[in-house]
Structure 1
Amino acid sequence: MARVGLIVALFALSFALLGARLATREETLSALLDLLSLPQPLSRTYKDDRLGFDYSNCGSASDPIVIHNASLTDPIPIPGTIKFSVNFTFGVALESPLKADLSIKKKVLGLYVPIPCLDNIGSCTYDDVCALIPSTSECPPPLSTYNIPCQCPFKAASYGIPPYSLDIPEISLPSFLTNGEYELQATLTMANGQRAACYQAHLSIEAS
């Protein structure tokens, strides 16, 4: 009986410790989201028409997806009008499944803090981005304007969008995507396990 009582007590202690650990994780996540929800001042310098947005290749020059040049209004006004342009090449055809690993960090008190994945928003892994693209008979502009496909499979080719203006309506963003500076990194992996691309970018959001 003493042994049975000891086993029951150990199980009770294990569940209590597990509950405390889960509570601690929830409290930590809540505190992190509160921190990320604080609007942050924009510390980067913006001059005339020079864009503050920047990007870099975090993969290899031999990766099949290559961004030759890209520009984006920075900070991004919400609501407001942005201007962007991009030229890129798909060196191979891209088919489903196409895995994406996305990392998003927000600059808080001078340090970039990772944003967790919540409801498929934030630093998430998507097993197949092709499955996330809504089915449509016609791609929206500017993709349709410049003959850029918007559904898998994507043909191997070079594509480009010259400077294009786009109106962004007033939208409800998650609390952790408030005003501030962000660091994004996206890695795409093909079905054969080969990396298709890895790019990192810095941009800012300024919502009214």
Structure 2
Amino acid sequence: MKVIFVFLIYFGFGSTSQADRGRTFHSQTSNDNNPRMILDQTSFSWANCGSRESPAVLKSLSIQPDPISIPGYLKASAAVSTTVNLTAPLTVNVTLDLEIAGVLLRMPCVQEIGSCVYDDVCRILDLVIPPGQQCPEPLYGYGLPCHCPFKAGEYALPKTPFYIPAAEIPFGLTRGNFKAMAILTRNQEELACLKVSFSLKSE
């Protein structure tokens, strides 16, 4: 799941209908005219939850398979747009709920996974990928940055496989239906908001 969170943090803050393996994505517009994408007949869905003035929005997001297998590979693609430079300090506040019998249970922050606050995303990226070091694949191959600042513009990741090892997932978070929300801020100013629903299953 850490891979999922890293992916959402990186690409969740940056349409048309598209079909993939017989499943159809439908573009919808909420009351604030932010795009959202809902996948029919599956549990995966996403929506921008910021205001009309939010400078960073997710334009598209695809994650397969659905449900996601732990351990296993997932294929993900995303497109993000931002009208401002995303510079330090950037904070991401993530809340994660597990749905049980129609009731949402808030998951605590365990091993930096769950309902966590990432106070300085730019610093986290510098720790994972030291400045001056080449961005890892597939980011380097697609010309995507891996350090702040992220310049205003559009970023896109084509469908790419990621492997999720079971060892990275805290006990109790490897199966079930989840709802997550991530809010990106800089100096307490909200830059983006994203909601995602997804399911996990253990092999």
Name the TM tier (shorter chain): 0.7 to 0.9
Q: CA RMSD in A?
A: 1.9
Instruction: Give the secondary structure class of the aligned counterpart of 2:167.
Output: coil
Equivalent residues in 2 for 1:148-167, closer than 5 Å: 148-167=144-163
Cα distance in 1 for partners of 2:161, 2:129 equals 25
Change (3 A) 1:141 1:175: same
Structure number, greater radius of gyration: 1
With normalisation by structure 2, the TM-score equals: 0.72
Decide whether aligned partners of structure 1 residues 48 and 149 sit closer, same or farther in structure 2, where only a CA change above 3 A counts.
closer
- Name the residue aligned to 1:12: none
Flag as ranges the 4+ runs of structure 1 deviating above 6 A: none
1:135 lines up with 2:129 in the alignment: yes
Cα deviation, residue 102, structure 1:
0.6
SS of 1:155's equivalent in the other structure is: coil
Tell me how many residue pairs correspond in the alignment: 161
Shift of 1:48: 5.7
In structure 1, list runs of 5 or more residues that go unmatched: 1-46
Structure 2 unaligned runs (5+)?
1-19, 24-38
Moved more, 125-134 or 181-190: 125-134
CA distance in 2, matches of 1:124, 1:172: 16
* Residue type of the alignment partner of 1:54: S
Task: Report what 1:199 is aligned to.
Answer: 194
Give the aligned partner of residue 58 of structure 1. Answer: 49
Q: How does 1:24-63 map to 2 (within 5 A)?
A: 49-50=22-23, 52=42, 53-63=44-54
The one-letter code of the counterpart of 2:129 is S
For normalisation by structure 1, the TM-score amounts to 0.71
In proportion to residue count, which structure has more strand?
A: 2
- Residue 120 (structure 1) shift: 2.9
TM-aligned CA distance change 1:119 to 1:168, over 3 Å:
closer
* 2:72 aligned partner, one-letter code: G
State how far apart, in whole Å, the 1-side matches of 2:87 and 2:21 are.
Answer: 41
Tell me the alpha carbon deviations over residues 139-176 of structure 1, each in whole angstroms, 9 at most, x when there is no partner.
12221121111111111121111222333344342113
> C-alpha separation between the residues in 2 aligned to 1:169 and 1:120?
16
Using the alignment, how far apart are the partners of 1:172 and 1:199 within structure 2? 23
Counterpart AA for 1:72: I
1:165–1:64 Cα change, 3 Å? same
Task: Kindly state the Cα deviation for residue 180 of structure 1 after the two structures are TM-superposed.
Answer: 0.5
Which structure features the higher share of helix residues?
Answer: 1
Percent identity of equivalent pairs: 37
Partner of 1:96: 88
In structure 1, how many angstroms separate the alpha carbons of the residues matched to 2:176 and 2:161? 22
